[in-house]
C-alpha cells in the first residue's frame, strides 16, 4: 500500500463541495477514477491527455490504505495504474499540490 496521484484541473477541484466525497468526471463515464502511481509517469500521462486543456492543474496525493471504495490495479502501456471504482472519501487525500506546466503548456514532474 502506498501513495498515488489523481490529476485534474484546479477549477474542478475548487468547485467540488468540500463536505462530500470527490467524484471525478470519469467515474460517471467510465466507471472509475484514473490515477497514477509513478511520479515520473505523471507528465507522460498529462501531456498525452490534458495538455490541450487550458488552466492550472493539481494533483491529489492519495493514501491507498484509506480509500474506502478500494483500488484496483490495472495494466496499460506496460505500467500498472490504480483505479478507484467509487466516490473518493476525503480522508484518503493526504495533500493537494500544484501540477506545474512549462511555458509551452506541457507538464513537468512536480517538485515536492
pLDDT tens across 13-63, in order? Answer: 999 999 999 999 999 999 999 999 998 999 999 999 999 999 999 999 999
Greatest extent of the chain over all pairs of C-alpha atoms, in Å: 38
Using an 8 Å Cβ cutoff, are 81 and 36 in contact?
Answer: yes
Residue 94 has a CB neighbour count (10 Å cut-off) of 12
Which of 7-38 are b and which e, b meaning 16 or more Cβ less than 10 Å from the residue's Cβ?
bbbeeebeeeeeeebbebeebeeeebbbbbbe
Q: What is the pLDDT of residue 112?
A: 64
pTM above 0.85, yes or no: yes
Residues 70-79 have pLDDT tens digits of 899 999 888 8
Per-residue pLDDT, 51: 94
> 99: closest CA among 67, 51, 66, 63?
51
CA distances from 18 to 6, 29, 57, 79 (A): 17, 22, 18, 32
Q: Quickly name the fold that domain 3-99 has.
A: ADP-ribosylation fold (3.20.170)
Q: Is pLDDT at 100 greater than 80 in this prediction?
A: yes
Domain ranges of the chain: 3-99
- Residue 62 has φ and ψ, to the nearest 5°, of -115, 135
Amino acid at each position: 500500500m502506498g501513495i498515488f496521484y489523481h490529476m485534474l484541473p484546479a477549477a474542478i477541484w475548487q468547485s467540488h463541495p468540500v463536505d462530500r466525497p470527490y467524484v471525478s468526471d470519469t467515474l460517471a463515464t467510465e466507471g472509475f477514477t484514473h490515477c497514477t502511481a509513478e511520479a515520473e509517469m505523471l507528465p507522460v500521462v498529462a501531456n498525452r491527455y490534458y495538455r490541450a486543456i487550458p488552466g492550472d492543474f493539481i494533483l491529489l496525493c492519495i493514501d491507498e490504505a484509506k480509500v474506502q471504495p478500494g483500488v484496483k490495479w490495472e495494466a496499460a502501456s506496460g505500467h500498472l495504474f490504480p483505479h478507484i471504482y467509487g466516490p473518493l472519501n476525503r480522508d484518503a487525500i493526504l495533500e493537494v499540490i500544484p501540477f506545474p506546466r512549462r511555458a509551452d503548456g506541457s507538464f513537468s514532474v512536480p517538485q515536492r
